[in-house]
Amino acid sequence: MTGTPHYQLYIDGARCEGAQGQVMSSENPATGEVWATFACAAAEDVDRAVAAARRALEAPEWRDLTQTQRGRLLYRLADLVEENAQHLGRIETTDSGKLLTETVSQTAYVADYYRYYAGLADKIEGAVLPIDKPDMHVFTRREPIGAVAAVVPWNAQMFLTATKLGPALAAGCAVVLKASEIAPAPMLEFARLIEEAGFPPGVVSIITGDAANCAIPLTRHPDVDRIAFTGGPETARHVIRNSAENFAVTTLELGGKSPILVFEDADLDGAANGLIAGNFGASGQSCVAGSRGLVQRPVFDEIIGRIEEKSKGIIVGDPLDPASHLGPLCTAAQIERIRQTLARAEQQGARIRFGGKAINRAGNFMMPTLVDCPTPEIATLSTEMFGPVMSLLPFDTEEEAIALANSTEYGLGSGVFTSDLARAHRVSNRMRAGICWVNTYRAISPIAPFGGFNASGYGREAGLDAVQDYTRTRTTWINMSDKPMANPFVMR
């Protein structure tokens, strides 16, 4: 283990080991070899991090900053993220297996999220109310909601951190960020930028660890005022139960089984590209993966042919190599889950057009896979795969397509490919999903809200309203009369 990087927790402005001395190792998904170790937080560390957040909220170094000054710190953080995109991207690629080209470009773009919220920091306003009581001046102000527990997964951690940390810091909150115990290295390295940007100690702490020792104590902590969680529905149910202990305001950004609808009048080349991007982009390890492709029957075979032809050139390889199009999956458990689901799909009558197997080499490499589904009951159409598996199902009418698209417990992303503008509006309006992309897929922006319905969670991240979600409203009444307050027991 000589020369193996070791990452510490970042609590109250200092790096430290966990109170119980627990250390975990991280495997490089491209090689299967341990490449780094990291300290794990215990309940005592969670207590210290939350206590530091509470102190920071009352410390003049943070509390007394003007909103414009908070924005300047976020602008500085944005610059540092952009300057360190290559460094952070390489760490994330080594830790999670995501393509270097993706991690670097995504990290660089994340800087714009911090700039967006930096600009909003001094746009958080209250209001003077036209109250119906004479001689009363009544106004509201928005104040930081308090201590925030932000829980992020490994698959898009720089992006999902920015959608929480940006608005929280703009609002004046203090944040305890819990990185996934799977591939947490880039988040623990990110702590250096928080410090360099000039945020006072305790405003941001970054920890990681398992559920029992870290996530549960954090999300049920009595001094946590808000929880922002991204992950799976089963874990989210535990988070909701934990929040009953502290009544923390909670938002959930969960998984999805997003439909992409391709109508016969669509630009078929663009539609094929959209399906490939929605399923093989990020090796399918995306909460908005468009893994239910619904294709109108007259063009079903042609779409399959175009996807087959385009997929022949996909290079699965070393994620650090710029020539690679698909890297490994983050964990070996994902490959086993995919293998079992594909086997069940074949038993149900599905046909695997290409792929369907792990690649026989070191690391967690999976072939891009296309599943031809004869009926809606095929397992790959209902199971979140979190790998490069595309399932296609034919439909006949617009009404049938909409019904199939909405026949899921999830509701995060959706896509529609058509050249008919009226149909684009008509169908997108009926998608039961928080996001609908028309003739494109997986586009994001700090300006556009991101979130889902039903089992895909509630609340929105990014966009103008997100910063308001990290505030609470205080109402102040001022009696402007020069007369004393009336006797409350004399009614007039």
Write out the two tokens for 121. 């920091």
How far CA 7 is from CA of 57, 92, 119, 185, 190, in Å, comes to: 27, 13, 32, 7, 11
Torsion, Cα 356 359 364 368, to 10 degrees, reads: -40
CB-neighbour burial class of residue 212 (10 A; exposed 0-12, middle 13-18, buried 19+): exposed
Q: Is the pLDDT of residue 492 over 70?
A: no
Is 253 designated active site?
Answer: yes
Measure the CA–CA gap between 301 and 354, rounded to whole angstroms.
Answer: 14
- Please measure the distance between the N-terminal and C-terminal CA atoms of the chain and give it in whole angstroms: 82
Q: Is the pLDDT of residue 3 over 80?
A: no
397 φ, ψ (degrees, to nearest 5) = -120, 165
Q: Is the separation of the CB atoms in 10 and 205 below 8 Å? A: yes
Mean pLDDT in residue range 290-303: 97
Q: Is the pLDDT of residue 36 over 50?
A: yes
Q: Which of 189, 253, 384, 461 is catalytic?
A: 253
The DSSP-derived string for 442-469 is: S---TTS-B--SGGGEES-BSSHHHHHT
Percent of the chain with pLDDT over 90: 97
Spell out the domains of the chain, with CATH numbers in brackets: 6-254+452-476 (3.40.605.10), 259-438 (3.40.309.10)
Query: 332: closest CA among 16, 2, 31?
Result: 31
Whole-number average pLDDT of the chain:
96
- pLDDT tier for residue 486 given thresholds of 50, 70 and 90: confident
- pLDDT tier for residue 1 given thresholds of 50, 70 and 90: very low
Which pLDDT value is given to residue 316?
96
Measure the CA–CA gap between 154 and 140, rounded to whole angstroms.
Answer: 39
Q: Is the pLDDT of residue 2 over 90?
A: no
pLDDT digits (tens, 9 = 90+) for 195-221: 999 999 999 999 999 999 999 999 999
Q: Is the pLDDT of residue 79 over 90?
A: yes
Mean pLDDT in residue range 80-104: 97
Which pLDDT value is given to residue 490?
86
CB-neighbour burial class of residue 31 (10 A; exposed 0-12, middle 13-18, buried 19+): middle
Query: 272: closest CA among 308, 239, 241?
Result: 308
pLDDT digits (tens, 9 = 90+) for 439-475: 999 999 999 999 999 999 999 999 999 999 999 999 9
Q: Is the pLDDT of residue 256 over 50?
A: yes
Q: Which residue has the higher pLDDT, 490 or 96?
A: 96
Q: Is the pLDDT of residue 140 over 90?
A: yes
